[in-house]
Amino acid sequence: MLGGGRSPAREITVEGKKYITWYGRYFTIDKQYQGSIFGGLLLKHLKDYMQGLSNLPTIFYAYVDEANPRSSKLLKYIGFEIIRNFETSVFSRMYPKKDKQVTKIQNEDVEPVLALLKKQYDGNVFVNFDNLFFQDNYFVLKNGTEIIAGVQASVVKWKVNRLPGFSGKVMIKVLPHLPFISRLFNPKNFSFVAFEGMYCKAGYEKKIFTLMESACAELKLCTGMMWMDPESELSKRVKNAGEWGIMNKMKEDLPVHVVAGFRNVTKEDQQAFYKNPTYISAFDLT
């Protein structure tokens, strides 16, 4: 294995200043206790614990679905505010094909790829590459010896109980029963490729779709997902650069909030997290 792994705390640099960040995931309160004294006590202890973690400039952050008002109230209670939004892009091919220009990354290309990614995501917040190269599934596309595109592709399995909006209901109830289309989405056993750490040399945006298709073919899956801040430079370049597929046309375009709480960070320094695009890690979401 070239790399990969989850760390509870991460050190990041934003506009020349260093911060400790903590990402919160999978926190919920059972419905029968929501709004009760037990839920309130749990939140209070969580807040006190987080405030005692560090005296260094620290940011606690999480992702919250806009359609989940309970989570929004919960996070507001413990001092989190919405700082950014991001969107989901779904890539799908009925019969994905491999491309001979696409290969799994070799050890000698790890440092060059990291250098390209650091340059591309310079100016983004919450950037971390801790989980790239997981299970050696970082794919690159070369023009000769030059790397012109790259992406981490990780296999994820979900059981999907609901999706927002009318189209979400159609996808849950109808798609699994349609011949061929069910190859793309099976809510009871939804296996897909989660993309992150994407690199693309300017002018080669169409190659990103060749890269994703080849990665799907290699991993024997038909659908992939990635998450991007719509104001990021990469999102603006690749959003309309190629054909994402039928799944992307069917999904609801509901933004997801990036929420954060700050400790020992001045109001002036906090503004960097509101104004700069957020790097979204697929590992954090899956």
pLDDT of residue 112: 96
pLDDT of residue 4: 40
- Please give the Cα distance from 156 to 162 (Å, whole number): 17
pLDDT of residue 78: 73
27 φ/ψ sector (left φ>0, alpha ψ -120 to 50, else beta): beta
Q: Are strands 256-263 and 81-92 parallel, antiparallel or unpaired?
A: antiparallel
Task: Tokens for 80, please give them.
Answer: 């989190």
Task: Tokens for 250, please give them.
Answer: 């069917």
pLDDT of residue 2: 41
pLDDT in tens, the chain (286 residues): 343 444 467 899 999 999 999 888 765 555 565 555 666 666 667 667 766 777 789 998 988 877 666 666 677 777 788 999 999 999 999 999 999 999 999 999 999 999 999 999 999 999 999 889 988 999 999 999 999 999 999 999 887 766 666 566 666 666 666 666 778 877 788 899 999 999 999 999 999 999 999 999 999 999 999 999 999 999 999 999 999 998 888 877 778 899 998 999 999 999 999 999 999 999 988 8
Q: What would be the CATH architecture of the domain defined by 9-285?
A: 3-Layer(aba) Sandwich (3.40)
Q: 3 exposed, middle or buried (CB, 10 Å; 0-12, 13-18, 19+)?
A: middle
- Domain range list for the chain: 9-285
3-state SS, 124-139, equals: CECCCCCCCCECCCEE
pLDDT of residue 224: 97
What Å distances lie between residue 23 and 26, 105, 117, 248, CA to CA? 10, 28, 21, 27
* CA angle at 245 for the pair 241 and 250, rounded to the nearest 5°: 115
